[in-house]
Structure 1
Amino acid sequence: MNPPVSARNPSDMDRIVLATSVKFPLASYLMDPAFDPGSPSPLYYLQSKCKANSSIPYPSGQATCSSDVNKELYKCKGGNKQHKEDNEFAAAFDFSDSNGAKYNMTVWHEETQVTNFMMGITFEYNRLPRWLNLASNAYLQVLQGPGTQMLFEFIKEVPTIIRLDSRVQGVLDFLLRIASFGLLIYPVTVLVSLIVYEKEKNLRIMMKMHGLRDTAYWAITYFYSLIISVLFVQFFLIAGEISGLTFFSKNDYTLQSIFYFIHVNWQISFVFVIAALVSTVKTAQVISSSYMMLVCVLAFFVAGRCIESTDISSSVVLLVEIFPGFALYRGVYEFQKYATFARNGADVGMRWKNLSDTGNGMKTAMIIMVTEWVVMLLLAYYLDQVVSSGSGRTKSPFFFLPTFRKKPTSQQSMQINSSQVLPGNNQSDVDQERQKVEQLMKEGSRTHTAVCDNIRKIYPGRDGNPAKAAVKGLSLALERSECFGMLGPNGAGKTSFISMMIGLTEPTSGTAYIEGLDITTRMDEVYTCMGVCPQFDLLWETLTGREHLYFYGRLKNLTGSTLAQAVEEALKEVNLFHGGIADKHAGKYSGGMKRRLSVAISLIGDPKIVYLDEPSTGLDPVSRNSLWSVVKRAKQNRAILLTTHSMEEAEALCDRLGVFVDGALRCVGNPKELKGRYGGYFIFTMTTTSGKNDEEVEDMVVSLCRNAVKTYHLGGTQKFELPKQEVRLADIFQLVENAKSKFPVQAWGLADTTLEDVFIKVTRQAQARSSDE
């Protein structure tokens, strides 16, 4: 809009002009549409004698001092509550010192940077030359008429070397900040997956059961993670320096290194907290990825807004930066800010002396990260002790209080638990074993490796279900050089008993001693003298068989030539030495090879007691017999507790057997003794045609042996137990001949009592007794 004719006399005009625009599109970040000749947006000359060509009313009046100008500019900037959505960019031109003979103009313009909250970008406006050109032409037209126009070529930016426009460079800075922040927090996902993998695969508890203490595990894991993270950060800094980005090249290298070193330590402690709370890699990846996305979004939309806003107090900003990850964002923001200063005229970016600059939040960010680093390390240790995390039994949430700590006890000082010995002079084998344990508890013994004193495990009831007694007061003593076999049906409580012995769960009452060490108070010491072959192979798929044995051998304090010899002997004993098998990755092993490697791991380092949970599962007959030979040799100087469902394996390896049914030990003895005690009969089997002569067969057997018991009857097949003291073999053969002369006999058989028969008989009797109770 041009001024009216009456306003063309300079003496009649107001001397202050406000130039504004009414739009805020993306294109206006580079040039205000008001100063674009091809733009449809209007240009307003706001004067007391002119009306603005806009439907929006603007106040007009005589400006008497600079405060009036400031007020009007503030309204155009956004202080006008009524038309706040305009969000104009404004400038004021003071012509009060100009006349027809002299041109002297003062420009009032805004120097603050505007931040787009939705994009997190700070834009710079370099419009002053254009404004000067525009105002000068306007003044010239007032003096000479509207047809006069001159291009003031001398009002231009200083020529520079071709480069990215400074306004576009601001966008690149924003993208660099995003990329840097995202890269720096990305290792969280990788590190937490590595730690949780060992927990999910039970590799950590496997290491712990072979003597690796929690402090050693976390120290090794911490420094391993630290080395990886520091190398990553150094690569990040060097790559940025080589690329010539001012974000890296202008800021002090040592300051950046120290800041990022604090960050990676904070990051590792944060990873430890996450790892203590989850038990699967999939869950860990979901949580860490969600955290990474969330913290990136919140950093730009919340932390960035709080840092750049002048309306938010420093205390609120401090509280925001306490959120995990926001302190890192503040540090990255400060590095970028000082790099921008350096690019726009300053000699250098941030230096150590700049930490005390007003508005510099780097020092606060570093203090926050150091504090959170220490706090989260302590929190991670606490959670690892009280949360079930694959590291063995957990502690009370108040374990750090003296009243919740258990005092170590020795076998000699331990008070005897109530044994509930059954009365009577003729005690059973189980009662005799209990009395033996009581005697050992009173007197002590150096010949027994393991002593279980009335150990119990009761799982509390849930969802209205009653409590479950998995182990009901087991008393057992194992001598050195003894292999004790534990037999029992599924759900009998064998796994619960073994779990207590190897430290996975804690006894509800009672205890056990390994080499005089109480498992309830000194389990860390017990781990150093035991070996475990779990039911399922717990191996690293990327390590070779030899590397596994070297690792577990070192946990048993083997070194040098002693370690090398022990590894070689172990590989030879389980038939993994020849043909390069020892140097293949365990992930490429067959099931039988993995089983043999697990047995070798349990035996390396000369442990005092070894737990073998179904060691021959999945082995072919040749490998199984070879493994049995290894176990027989191994038991010469240690106690072995073996669980199996193979009666052949139990009879071949075990010096004593115990049948475990419904949480209680039902019988104890060597295989021959058990067969004699619970057997003592022949198993006679006869099969006739279509079962037509079943009653006749039964009558003939009863006539031969009055106390014969029929144990099986299906179709034409019947099975009888014949007490040995009541029959002779010749009489049985005569019965068969008589039967053949009367009716067709398809098949018959006579066998002595097997260990399997004993197992079945004891199990059925125990289950029948439990159902009656």
Structure 2
Amino acid sequence: FLSLWLRVQRRNLKTNVGITVFPILICVLLVVLQNVINGELDKPKYQCGCECTESDLDGTCLRKECGIQHSTLEQVWSCEVPSPPRWPALIQVPWPGFRAVGTASQPFDDLPNPLCRGDGSCPVTLLVTGENQTLAERVSGRVFPALYPLPNVTDYLMPPPFSPSQVTDYLDILSRIVVGSDTQPWYTQLLEPAFSSGKTLHLLQPRCMPFMFGTIPYNAGGVPLHIDIQCIEVQMLWRESASVINYELFKGYVQRGGETNEFVAGYDFLNTTGYDLNINVWYNSTYNDNTAYSFIAALRVPRLVNAISNAYLKFIRGSGVDMLLEYVKEMPKVGTRFRLDLSSLLSVLFFTWIVELLFPVMLTYLVYEKEQKLKIMMKMHGLKDGPYWLISYAYFFALSVIYMTFFVIFGSLIGNFLPIYFHEDCTCIFCGIFLFICQDSHCDWIHLCIWLWLARGISFSFLC
């Protein structure tokens, strides 16, 4: 039987050689595709934008300046940002059509009338509860400081005036009040979507006045911006317990399946007293876009925490005391290059192509043995099943070892081009491949028998 088996394998020498070098062909194909993609991503339209700042009489550029101020939205992510811009800390404001109103599922008398959604005039609603209602209402009433238009109607106890002709540092003013946006937050704070073109910055105020609407200038890291501002009134509603607030928030949840009824936030003062602050904060985490297909966004929560902390501090120490959250900013960023790791992106398919290729090969030999009745011929010559299984196992074990050895050696040689090879520890790779070889050489015989029996209706006893 051994002589017959070796004779068959000599006839299939080209097939066996083709099987063992197949991983090399796949790796070469991936390297070529990776280089093509890298060449496309290295084009100027994906590099940080630059502009010539000094040139000679012939028009030759002597010095150029690169940065986000000279870049498009496609280029800005590759720029070096040694000093990221500072942004006011915002809170997440519901869209006008989703703001909380009285509905059949939420029949609370103090919620706004649903008709306000027609013209987008609905206020934003913040829910409050706690053990001490008087203290909770007094503290929450200071969460949204009021703005005043002229300096002669303010004093040091009030926020500074909000007049475009008299204000030079809007970052300071916006840190003393509560400002929000209904834009989708991003996973990085190198850019704040609320300050992009066509977006509106919302001033959350107890009462809106005409001077709270318009356009203000803002400088973000040397880039001048003009921001549209719009006032939104805020109403604080008391609820008897945290369970009532949980009920309201759940009824308005967008993924519940009903009508979206979104609140800006909620505060539970728990056992807060005049000398002990203990608060739970509800916020909408739906905006973090936590899916498997995108980066997790940075939620606008810090201002919610700072606003209530600052309000409590003013309550116990007086209006002249502030604990300001002046701004938020990203960490400095080095210049980067766009890269797409094709091998890691196709890792599952890559494994299927390479490792599982031997599965149909074994299936072919199993069918060939049944077709040529090799096992029956072996028994007719007086041999038992032991030599057949031993030779079959030894052959497929040797084929798997050679196959995976070529795969690992060639993969190590081109590891700089396919990062998937050096992202894993060598010990883990060796153990995984060895377990695959053992399984592929022994257990897959049983798997093949079961698969053929189920797929083609051939009896299990006939195959095995």
TM-score category (smaller protein): 0.3 to 0.5
Please say which structure displays the higher CA radius of gyration.
1
TM-score by length of 1: 0.23
Structure with the larger helix share = 1
Higher relative contact order (CA 8 A, sep 6+): 2
